[in-house]
């Protein structure tokens, strides 16, 4: 009897304990799902403030980006950290202003990794919080230590700074090596046909855009006259790796499929996917099914292609029932440019479309269009649709996501603006340092101060006003969004106040930094 009783008590307690454990376990899972949503960062390359329907474009139809904007927070004062790619991406992943890192400039394909492998990064922080982390798309933050052998495992790279999965192009679509790299290995490389890369000298007998224009299907306008791959001449010289070379027209589909696979494979754990599309950067090479769809030539066509990709990714999330559990952030690495080095009719066919919307300048510019970009946060069932005028920067994703997932984002320039990103507050930053090709300026509340910089006011190749001037430029964006009226002489007190604020953060006026554009 006693033994029976004892056995009964024992069994009941085991049952209760295991029941509790089960309950605890399921609580953890649901808690996890609330506090640790999947994070999908959709990052475009050179997409302008005015290129999206939700930001005023009418001639280009971008229904999928518009859907995110209409169902989430559409930021009207959302900034990339720089007016070019590598510095913006450095800041996005580290929360550190790019001008603090002298190596954060437009990088050649042979540049070493510019993120210190001991530095805290967004993916590392998320990994610490139990996330699986992946990148698919453009990297452009350098690889290796300066002496990369493209025929061996390439390291350090994305895997060494926090990404557990990486399917990337090394630099840009217009730079060699023109191959995909998966977790450090060139995809589809034939060891009998090794890859050689050089940014100074050509390899003997290899055709170039300069010497062999007859081999080109897209002519170069400025730069881009080195090795020819797939009928397009690039920046830098490449030999070998024939089988591994990408077909530009398939790049959008290739990245899309990899991003979709990643989502399907990692849905059992919280995941962070950095989906870095190549569009609409040059060379603009829409898949044949998008050719002619925009009426604006390749630049418009690839924007429609990118929008379609975003729609497909949304479908994947929906099919996998992940929409309510995924925070989506969409933005661009810098402002727009029409002619960035190839004849692709971007200027001729743009018509009334305004890639920069109402803003002045474009890619490479210290004026607003250099860095103010489409910026959207979307989380079905968690973010109420709204438009926000709060000043937010991509720099702030590190601290804000840190707060969201309970991670320590360290001591960086990143500000916790989670409430703004969740659409629960209209308050963002008071001030932000703007950067364009190593020059810096200050946005503070509704004012912008651009210190004097030497160099041409306009880059004649790309036809963009860079923000260089012999005078201080002071604009009030509330009354003058297009930065047409310099108030530096009429508002001397404001000018002094802005100079003092700028100097406080920036330390110097950066006047010794020269523009690097050719």
Closest distance of CB 396 from Ca ion, Å: 19
At its nearest, how many Å lie between ligand NG6 and the CB of residue 85?
A: 3
User: Where do we find the tokens 């829409």?
Assistant: 286
CB of 270 to Ca ion, least distance (A): 29
| Contacted entry of Ca ion, ligand NG6, none for residue 140, CB cut-off 5 to 8 Å set by kind | ligand NG6
Do residues 198 and 236 touch, judged by C-beta distance below 8 A?
yes
Which residues have C-beta within 8 Å of that of residue 420, sequence separation ≥ 6?
73, 388, 390, 392, 400, 426, 427, 428
Residue closest to 81 by CA, chosen among 435, 378, 406: 435
Q: Looking at the DSSP assignment, which residues form a beta bridge with residue 196?
A: 239
Q: Among residues 274, 348, 380, 314, which one has the least CA distance to residue 45?
A: 274
Out of 38, 121, 172, 440, point to the residue binding ligand NG6 (CB under 6 A): 172
- Restricting to residues 279-308, name those near ligand NG6 by CB under 6 A: 281-282
**Which of 94, 334, 388, 409 is the binder for Ca ion (CB under 5 A)?**
334
Structure tokens at 78: 């959302």
What is the nearest approach in angstroms of ligand NG6 to the Cβ of residue 45? 6
Q: Can you tell me the distance from the alpha carbon of 309 to that of 240, in angstroms, rounded to the nearest whole number?
A: 31
- 86 versus 412: smaller Cβ distance to Ca ion: 86
Binding residue for ligand NG6 (CB under 6 A) from 236, 341, 370, 423?
Answer: 341
Which residues inside 176-205 make contact with ligand NG6, applying CB under 6 A?
none
Name residue, tokens 């754990």. Answer: 269
Q: Which is nearer to ligand NG6, 235 or 448 (CB)?
A: 235
Q: Which does 235 bind (CB under 5 to 8 A by kind): ligand NG6, Ca ion, none?
A: ligand NG6
Cα dihedral 83, 85, 91, 96 sign: negative
209 interacts with, out of ligand NG6, Ca ion, none, CB within 5 to 8 A per kind:
none
Angle, CA of 79, 450 and 472, to the nearest 5°: 165
Q: Is 46 in the site for Ca ion (CB under 5 A)?
A: yes
* Beta carbon nearer to Ca ion, 135 or 405: 135
Cβ pair 86, 105 in contact under 8 A: yes
Query: Which residues, 74 to 103, sit near Ca ion by CB under 5 A?
Result: 85
Q: Which is nearer to Ca ion, 369 or 404 (CB)?
A: 369
Name the binder of 41 from Ca ion, ligand NG6, none, CB < 5-8 A by kind.
none
Report yes or no: 211 and 136 within 8 Å, Cβ to Cβ: no
The CB-of-226 to Ca ion minimum distance in angstroms stands at 20
Judged by CB under 5 A, the residue of 45, 66, 248, 413 near Ca ion is: 45
Q: Looking only at residues 89 through 108 of this chain, which bind ligand NG6 when binding is defined by CB under 6 A?
A: 106
**Three-state SS string across 333-378, please?**
CCCCCCCCCECCCCCCCCCCCCCCCCCCCCCCCCCHHHCECCEEEE
Binding residue (CB under 6 A) for ligand NG6 from 105, 140, 239, 354: 140
Binding site for ligand NG6 (CB under 6 A): 45-46, 84-85, 106, 140, 172, 174, 222-223, 235, 281-282, 334, 340-341, 518
């Amino acid at each position: 009897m006693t033994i029976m009783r004892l056995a009964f008590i024992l069994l009941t307690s085991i049952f209760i304990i295991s029941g509790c454990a089960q309950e605890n376990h399921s609580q953890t899972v649901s808690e996890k799902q609330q506090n640790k949503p999947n994070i999908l960062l959709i990052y475009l390359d050179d997409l302008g403030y005015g290129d999206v329907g939700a930001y005023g474009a009418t001639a280009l139809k971008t229904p999928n980006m518009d859907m995110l904007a209409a169902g989430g927070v559409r930021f009207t004062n959302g900034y990339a950290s720089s007016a070019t790619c590598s510095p913006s991406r450095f800041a996005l992943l580290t929360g550190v202003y790019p001008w603090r890192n002298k190596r954060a400039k437009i990088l050649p394909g042979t540049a070493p990794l510019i993120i210190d492998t001991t530095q805290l990064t967004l993916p590392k922080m998320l990994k610490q919080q139990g996330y699986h982390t992946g990148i698919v798309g453009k990297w452009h933050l350098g690889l290796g230590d300066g002496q990369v052998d493209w025929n061996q495992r390439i390291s350090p790279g994305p895997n060494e700074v926090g990404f557990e999965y990486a399917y990337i192009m090394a630099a840009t679509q217009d730079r060699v090596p023109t191959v995909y790299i998966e977790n450090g290995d060139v995809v589809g490389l034939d060891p009998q046909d090794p890859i050689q890369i050089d940014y100074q000298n050509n390899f003997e007998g290899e055709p170039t855009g300069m010497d062999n224009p007859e081999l080109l299907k897209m002519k170069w306008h400025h730069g881009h006259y080195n090795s020819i791959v797939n009928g397009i001449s690039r920046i830098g010289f490449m030999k070998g790796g024939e089988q591994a070379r990408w077909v530009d027209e398939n790049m959008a589909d290739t990245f899309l499929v990899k991003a979709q696979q990643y989502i399907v494979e990692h849905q059992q754990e919280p995941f962070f996917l950095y989906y870095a599309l190549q569009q609409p950067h040059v060379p603009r090479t829409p898949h044949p099914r998008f050719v002619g769809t925009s009426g604006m030539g390749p630049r418009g066509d690839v924007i429609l292609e990118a929008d379609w990709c975003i729609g497909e990714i949304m479908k994947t999330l929906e099919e996998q029932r992940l929409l309510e559990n995924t925070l989506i952030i969409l933005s661009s690495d810098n402002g727009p440019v029409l002619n960035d080095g190839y004849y692709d009719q971007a200027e001729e066919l743009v018509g009334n479309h305004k890639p920069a919307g109402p803003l002045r300048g474009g890619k490479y510019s210290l004026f607003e269009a250099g860095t103010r970009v489409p910026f959207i946060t979307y989380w079905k069932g968690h973010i109420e649709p709204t438009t926000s005028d709060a000043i937010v920067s991509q720099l702030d994703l590190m601290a804000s996501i840190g707060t969201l997932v309970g991670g320590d984002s360290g001591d960086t320039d990143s500000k916790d603006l989670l409430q703004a990103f969740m659409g629960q507050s209209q308050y963002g930053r008071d001030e932000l340092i703007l950067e364009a090709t190593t020059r810096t300026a200050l946005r503070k509340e509704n004012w912008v101060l651009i210190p004097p910089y030497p160099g041409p006011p306009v880059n004649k190749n790309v036809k963009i006003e860079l923000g260089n001037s012999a005078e201080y430029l002071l604009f009030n964006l509330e009354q003058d969004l297009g930065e047409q009226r310099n108030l530096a002489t009429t508002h001397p007190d404001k000018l002094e106040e802005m100079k003092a604020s700028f100097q406080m953060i920036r330390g110097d006026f950066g006047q010794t930094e020269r523009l690097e554009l050719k």
